[in-house]
Amino acid sequence: MTRLSVNVNKIAVLRNSRGGNLPDVARAAAACLDAGAYGITVHPRPDQRHIRPADVGVLGALCAAHGVEFNIEGNGFAPARGAYPGLLALVERTRPQQCTLVPDADSQITSDHGFDLNADAARLRPLIAQLNALGARVSLFMDVDAENVGRAAELGAARIEIYTGPFAQAFANGDFGRELDACVRSAEHARRAGLEVNAGHDLDQDNLRVLHAAIPELAEVSIGHALVGDALYAGLDATVRAYLQVLAG
């Protein structure tokens, strides 16, 4: 069964655009969990453009109270800055069940590429060991590169997250066979290496249905942008249930 983790970053973007606490990120996350979501994902960044360190603590406690998974995404090599203490410190404070490492930078509007394990292995290995010691399952954000994706297991990661942005863009353009095949190959290569497979980025109800049919053994999908957009029209409860129905199909 593929589980749904809802990324609530976009709720925080809306809140931060006005100041104050509306919309309430924790209330939105609770609504998603009440609708059946398996967990909550956040991606705190050093510039605090959306999720802030204080949110991480509140949402971690919320997930613990509900007995569901908390997933913190981020760049483990980004230094502490101002109120941002660094990813490792946030994991140590909140002890999430999963930490998804992403090689993002402030200059990126959103995550747009995965790790190059040939170049990044040496510095990833000790970071993954530290995260594992804190009780976090580590997932590495990866491009659909079947040649080296299996190396994540050698570094101590338990999962990869397939970067599905190129597949989603190809799907929108109506010619997605090549990108879908690449996702399938990467998933197969990862599983042969003993890794579980997550997927995320630009997934919506339409392209998720196709991706899940091709890779039904996905462990988890993390969805935020499209889900929050859908919820503007249908509401969070109905939208989360609709995504769960896609995954059940």
**Those residues with Cβ within 8 angstroms of residue 185's Cβ, 6 or more apart along the chain or in another chain:** 144, 146
Domains of the chain: 3-248 (3.20.20.70)
Q: Specify the amino acid at residue 49.
A: R
Paired with 199 in beta bridges are 162, 221
Dihedral angle, C-alpha 200, 206, 211, 216, nearest 10 °: 100
- Which pLDDT tens digit goes with each residue over 192-201? 999 999 999 9
- Model pLDDT for residues 141-162, shown as the tens digit of each residue: 999 976 789 899 999 999 999 9
Are residues 44 and 68 in contact, defined by beta-carbon separation less than 8 angstroms? no
Candidate list 50, 189, 201, 212, residue with the active-site label? 201
Residue 113: what pLDDT? Answer: 73
Catalytic, out of 69, 73, 196, 220:
73
Residue 26 confidence class, pLDDT cut points 50, 70, 90: very high
Q: Is 43 an annotated catalytic residue?
A: yes
Predicted local distance difference test score (pLDDT) of residue 148: 87
- Model pTM score: 0.96
* 43, 50, 189, 212: the active-site residue: 43
- Helix/strand/coil for 223: strand
Could you report the per-residue pLDDT of 62-112, keeping only the tens digit for each? Answer: 999 999 999 999 999 999 999 999 999 999 999 999 999 999 876 656 666
pLDDT mean over 173-183: 97
Q: Which helix (H) or strand (E) holds 38?
A: none
pLDDT value of residue 109: 62
Kindly state the tokens that stand for 167.
């597949």
Whole-number Å distance between alpha carbons of 214 and 199: 12
Judge whether 73 counts as a catalytic residue: yes
Q: φ, ψ for residue 175 (rounded to 5)?
A: -140, 85
| Average pLDDT, rounded, for the chain | 95
